Amino acid sequence: GQGEFTFYLADVSLLGPEPVVPPPTTIGELLGNGDFSSNDIAPWWTSGMTAPDASSGAFVGPVTNGNTPNRYDAILGQHGIAVYEDGMYTLTMKLRASTAVTVEVLLQENGGSFTRYFESQLPLTTSDQEFTFHFTAPTTNQVASFQFHVGAQGNFTFYADDISLLGPKADNTAEAIPVIRLNQTGYLPQVLKRATISSTETSPIAWTLYNM
């Protein structure tokens, strides 16, 4: 009922929520050097502590910035932790302190709004205590940060060992691809052409020559 006309349409899109990528099926350790067996704290980092040490095979962190108002003014942390939405995680650790204090353990966004994916308050004594937590990640973040916040409680020494975070872990092992070595980058007519496959195979490898 509108007569003949030309209809033009361009750059049409329909936006919606991004699909949720399922977490990897492989379960692995997400923290490095959680048992401090290397007698070094790397790849852990600290703030608000003086001369943190792991020469005993456990973390020893003298908190010297404990009289500030914020828990996050003294931290033991590790960046670059990949978490996946709906992934299930198990956190275990052994902790104590030189005096009775309460510290925070958390997994959070490293920047931005510092959204916390997991957090808990841990009352510590001068004796070793083992803690275990199970949680599900609410979102995917390939570079989350795992931290202990131990400030705002005066100066004391924080001890930690056997810290483990188990959860979905991507398998980054690339499938081995045979290396083909060529004697020419661009083949010239009437010149001998040679291709060599570098492989650890001890038996003949099937191959096909295509005349393109």
The number of CA neighbours under 13 Å toward the Cβ of 43 is 9
Bridge partners, 158 (sequence order): 61, 97
Q: What is the pLDDT of residue 174?
A: 52
Could you tell me if residue 18 is inside a domain?
A: no
Q: What is the CATH number of the domain that holds 79?
A: 2.60.120.260
Q: What is the pLDDT of residue 207?
A: 73
3-state SS, residue 120: strand
Could you tell me if residue 12 is inside a domain?
A: no
Q: What is the pLDDT of residue 201?
A: 76
d(CA 170, CA 175): 14
Domain limits for position 123: 27-168
Number of domains in the chain: 1
Could you tell me if residue 176 is inside a domain?
A: no
Q: Name the nearest CA neighbour of 133 among 167, 99, 109.
A: 167
Could you tell me if residue 17 is inside a domain?
A: no
Q: What is the pLDDT of residue 22?
A: 75
Q: What is the pLDDT of residue 188?
A: 62
Phi and psi, residue 72, nearest 5°: -75, 5
pTM more than 0.75: no
Could you tell me if residue 73 is inside a domain?
A: yes
3-state SS, residue 1: coil
Which residue ranges of the chain lie beneath pLDDT 70?
16-21, 172-194, 198, 209-212
Q: What is the pLDDT of residue 204?
A: 82
Between strands 27-29 and 101-108, the pairing is: unpaired
Q: Name the nearest CA neighbour of 153 among 47, 74, 53, 60.
A: 74
Could you tell me if residue 15 is inside a domain?
A: no
Could you tell me if residue 40 is inside a domain?
A: yes
